[in-house]
Amino acid sequence: MSGTPGTPETPGTPAAPAPADTAARLTGLVRALRGHGLRIGPAETVDAAAVLDVLGLTDREQMRAGLAAALLRSEGQRPVFDASFDLFFPLGVGTPEAVRNSPPPVPDDPEPPRFGRPDPLRDQLRERLAAALTADDRAAQARLAGEVVEAFGRYGTGGTPGSDGWSAHQALGRLAPETLLARILAALRQQGADDLSDRVLADEIRRRIRDFRALVSGEARRRVAELSGAERIAERAVAPTADRIDFLAAGREQLAELRRTVHPLARKLATRLAARRRRAARGRIDLRRTLRRSLGTGGVPLRPAYRLRRPARPELVLLCDVSGSVAGFADFTMLLVRAMSEQFSKVRVFAFVNRTAEVTDLLRRGQDDPARLAARILAEAKVTGYHGNSDYGSALGDFAEQHLDAVGPRTCVLVLGDARNNHRDPNPEALRRIAARARRVFWLNPEHPGLWGTGDSAAPAYADVVEMHDCRNARRLGELIARLLPV
């Protein structure tokens, strides 16, 4: 077995790859990163090759840092890069050396024992893991990750062990490292960690457990990549960057990461909108003045004249569904618009579940705690009536009856929601009344277009009235705002 050189704790037997193999690994890494939306051109690829030529392959972590500096443009891209780098430049191949030298006894029955039956191998690994986590011994944790995947991670019925695949989820489910928290906390207390509160120690232990879970996931990905190919696993098993995570599939931690990207994205979008506004201020060519100017240059219009405009900043109205899983999408968009508020002459925000209420002041006051914005809106604004289910027809009718004065000829209206109406009347006439008064109306739907019209979706009825765009992640949202909003 051969692999890329690394630290002494290599998964397999290290050997320096040939130059052609190194070039193939680098180009494969670049293709995988591009597949995850990272903008890497030929210049960055040439720089990365120069980095490998200068640094060599002796120090793997130095090589990782050099390639990251050459290929990445922001810190938020680093998790995707690290996971992909481990696939194309692994510590080694095959079973880790420490596991080959003293392999854990693999049970004949890969299924976990029934409740109440002893599991000696699991208990032994948990004891060693508790000691490694207590000491924060990263080398021991890395060895244990290989042993855990070897013992509990294989699945399938192929003739060769592990020939069908390796599963980090299966291995971690069998080991259950989260249940060791109380034991590790007690051990740290006995070691004299009395100067820290239990809450601080518990948070530190959770961090160590998360890091160990990442080691197990990385080991399982490496082994599966040997079976199925690194590029395929990089495409399917590496988590995307925060701006490419679907709003409807994002968990709590991913939504928190998205909120941290609000202000950088807002600055980028504000710059684009300001540039569009400067270009729009020049107006169209004034043919008469252009021809008059050309008399001084023999009839050649070297200096075109424009009809100067003084475009006023547009008004923006957000109409947001804050129910269920759509709340994360609406929450992020509201925060983004608030961060861009200087680009508009007026911004008003309305939220609804089945009734509509203005939440502009709540949005302004909620800037200190963006994570609780949607919860505050649900608690303090009258967005529900006699039931708590989404009713777009009722909410749009409520807005058209009570808040239509917020819409004028300079207003752009963004409706945010999945149009899931619980089989109630969609009331498209209310949306037509809004569109008749507004400058433009756009509907941003976080669902895949293939789902529009399925089940209780009223998306086709609304798409017949206004433009509806799929907006499943932050990157797509930024593109739509930069392209659609008037200047």
Question: What was the pLDDT predicted at 277?
Answer: 74
Could you report the per-residue pLDDT of 336-385, keeping only the tens digit for each?
888 888 888 889 999 999 999 999 988 876 555 666 787 788 888 899 98
Q: pLDDT class for 307, splitting at 50, 70, 90?
A: confident
Give the C-alpha separation, 57 to 53, whole Å. Answer: 9
Is the confidence at residue 311, as pLDDT, over 70? Answer: no
Residue 178 parent element (H or E) = none
Is the confidence at residue 236, as pLDDT, over 70? Answer: yes
Residue 13 parent element (H or E) = none
Cα-Cα-Cα-Cα dihedral sign, residues 13, 18, 23, 24: negative
- With beta carbons less than 8 A apart as the criterion, state whether 98 and 139 touch: no
- With beta carbons less than 8 A apart as the criterion, state whether 374 and 327 touch: yes
Which of 116 and 149 is assigned the larger pLDDT? 149
When mean pLDDT is compared across 26-35, 385-394, 398-407, 460-469, the lowest value belongs to 385-394
Residue with tokens 């020939």, as numbered in its chain:
163
Residue 123 parent element (H or E) = helix 120-135
Is the confidence at residue 309, as pLDDT, over 50? Answer: yes
Task: Provide DSSP, 229-275.
Answer: -HHHHHHHHSPPPGGGS-GGG--HHHHHHHHHTHHHHHHHHHHHHHH
The residue among 97, 205, 220 whose CA lies nearest residue 154 is 220
When mean pLDDT is compared across 99-103, 124-128, 434-438, the lowest value belongs to 99-103
Question: What was the pLDDT predicted at 195?
Answer: 63
Could you report the per-residue pLDDT of 174-227, keeping only the tens digit for each?
899 999 998 998 888 887 766 667 778 888 899 999 999 999 998 888 888 888
Question: What was the pLDDT predicted at 351?
Answer: 93
- With beta carbons less than 8 A apart as the criterion, state whether 262 and 335 touch: yes
Q: What value does the mean pLDDT of the chain take?
A: 83
Q: pLDDT class for 109, splitting at 50, 70, 90?
A: low
Is the confidence at residue 335, as pLDDT, over 90? Answer: no
Q: pLDDT class for 7, splitting at 50, 70, 90?
A: very low
Which of 351 and 293 is assigned the larger pLDDT? 351
- With beta carbons less than 8 A apart as the criterion, state whether 392 and 417 touch: yes
The residue among 462, 431, 432 whose CA lies nearest residue 447 is 462
Q: pLDDT class for 325, splitting at 50, 70, 90?
A: confident
Stretch 43-57: mean pLDDT, rounded?
Answer: 93
- With beta carbons less than 8 A apart as the criterion, state whether 43 and 51 touch: no
Could you report the per-residue pLDDT of 424-459, keeping only the tens digit for each?
999 999 999 999 999 999 999 999 999 999 999 999
